[in-house]
Structure 1
């Protein structure tokens, strides 16, 4: 039976994958992870945890309250972003429905900060939008970041973690081997050493 690890504990156990600091969409794709021994976690599994993740990434303001329908929309978009990343890594055509979902998110809300002015701060850029459209704006920004990643110079660095069963994405930093964390790298090296000792293929 699959055991679901508490989101906060799992998040502390696995640091962000390489490249997540440059692309929020990469960290977004990695909010659901398969771990060894049938374990997994989902940082968007409930409205509260989805709200914490979106707030931590500056995609919604702390005062915004999310409902299950919003969390579900966020998880659905994550699935589409993961499908596009997987297609890029595998060199295959992406699913049409995932392309359509990202394009719909891109056009559902403006992602550019507006110009505002007040007597205290003078001119400044603000993400101004109605609270009931907060999720639209968050998903639009994540879709824009995913599109930038897939079409920019980092696209060739996009990879899937090479330590099964982990299914996180990352940007390769060097070499052919690519793991999302030290833990996954250690597990892959241990599996190779075990296979060599026992003359079993890896």
Structure 2
């Protein structure tokens, strides 16, 4: 089946995504019925808008292709860690290393620089990539906090195929949205009527 990419899923944030931006990050690529796929980070402009909506960068930060690719890569590594946690399986070392690398890449203070004419000064490296590095570090820190904190026990995958979003379970809720819950209930009802499993 051919997969098509569309611009917006129309889905509300999954439970927990407003408290954990890393959950919003892994849910920024969504599989929808009919072979459709939404990737909010598919373009630099989309990634720029997503980071702004999360409060991680100012409006029109000037996202570059390379920066958007780094954000998508972090999303896939965090997604792999969330999947391992939900399934109770060991994490891929590359995913753990990617999160740790992102956490340690951001300088905590302006670096010392030296100009031949004016002498020493303190400055941060490339301002645009600096913004992205800080945003990536904040997302990586949130993913690490989510995976090691009290909410980790509530982390689960949406139980409605083909949805691939994650959520923090509240009570018995197994779906990321009412739409997914309705789709799963309709599929179960159809299976009962037709005798399919």
Shorter chain as normaliser: what TM range?
0.7 to 0.9
**1:135 deviation in Å?**
1.0
**1:110 deviation in Å?**
5.3
- Pair 1:62 & 2:59 matched: yes
8 Å Cα contact 2:6/2:38 also seen in 1 = yes
- Pair 1:24 & 2:21 matched: yes
5+ long unaligned stretches in structure 2: 110-123
Alpha-carbon deviations, 1:134-189, whole Å to 9, x = none?
111010000000000000000000000000110000000111x4000000000000
- Pair 1:4 & 2:5 matched: yes
Alignment CA distance shift 1:199-1:87 (3 Å): same
Write the distance in 1 (CA, Å) between the matches of 2:93 and 2:37.
28
**1:131 deviation in Å?**
3.3
Write the distance in 1 (CA, Å) between the matches of 2:69 and 2:15.
27
5+ long unaligned stretches in structure 1: 113-127
- Pair 1:139 & 2:140 matched: no
Write the distance in 2 (CA, Å) between the matches of 1:40 and 1:111.
37
**What residue number does 1:200 align with?**
196
For residues 138-177 of structure 1, the aligned pairs below 5 Å read 138-175=135-172, 177=173
8 Å Cα contact 2:5/2:38 also seen in 1 = yes
8 Å Cα contact 1:110/1:140 also seen in 2 = no
**What residue number does 1:180 align with?**
176
Write the distance in 2 (CA, Å) between the matches of 1:191 and 1:144.
38
**1:63 deviation in Å?**
4.3
SS at match of 1:163: coil
Alignment CA distance shift 1:49-1:89 (3 Å): same
Write the distance in 2 (CA, Å) between the matches of 1:196 and 1:132.
54
Alpha-carbon deviations, 1:61-117, whole Å to 9, x = none?
2242011111001100000000000000000011110000000111111579xxxxx
Matched pairs, number: 181
Structure showing greater Rg? 2
What is the root-mean-square deviation of aligned Cα atoms in Å?
1.6
